[in-house]
Structure 1
């Protein structure tokens, strides 16, 4: 009987530990990675002639605005972004991603 109780106690102690040992979910791409990916897409569009100089300038201007806003957000919170800040930047990056796609596929050539 004593063995059963100690086995049960050990199982109860180890159960929560085993749940923490699970593999974490893959992390979301960081803001910096998205910036790099979008810059690469812009570069590819320029190289292939899918983006005109005007389209590229407008996209780069918008990207610079997002970067400036991010720097301001980080300055307010000692170099960190709040959850709301990340959501705001993510929305802005989504909008720019759609603009890059639209401009690359609008049949204008340089």
Structure 2
């Protein structure tokens, strides 16, 4: 009986630790600065697809633009990992400048 109580206690502690980690992960993904950067990336993705569909850019150009966006997204994830799940205002500015460069290439 004592073993069962200990096992249940250990399970409860493990469950609460997992739940806490999940809540923190959700906050990290939904951080306002990260959300803004990721929203812009999603918008650019739609613009690239639209430009290909309309024949404004080639599939090769689209691949290159998507590659640049993926690199920006990875950089955003790396920055967030170093800062407890969020990015600083300066990091956001840096990412926005990179997104602006890609944005100017879309539909040239």
CA deviation string 1:14-34 (max 9, x = no partner)? xxxxxxxxxxxxx99811221
User: Which residue is equivalent to 1:83?
Assistant: 89
CA deviation string 1:39-71 (max 9, x = no partner)? 111110111111101101110110111011111
The runs of 4+ residues in structure 1 deviating greater than 6 Å are: none
TM score, norm. by length of structure 1: 0.63
- State the aligned residue count: 76
Which has the greater radius of gyration?
1
The structure with more helix, counted as a fraction of residues = 2
* Structure 1 gap segments, 5+ residues each: 1-26, 103-110
Q: Matched residues in 2 for 1:64 and 1:58: separation?
A: 10
TM score, norm. by length of structure 2: 0.65
Q: Matched residues in 1 for 2:54 and 2:78: separation?
A: 34
Q: Matched residues in 2 for 1:85 and 1:95: separation?
A: 16
* Structure 2 gap segments, 5+ residues each: 1-31
- The CA RMSD measured in Å over matched residues stands at 1.9
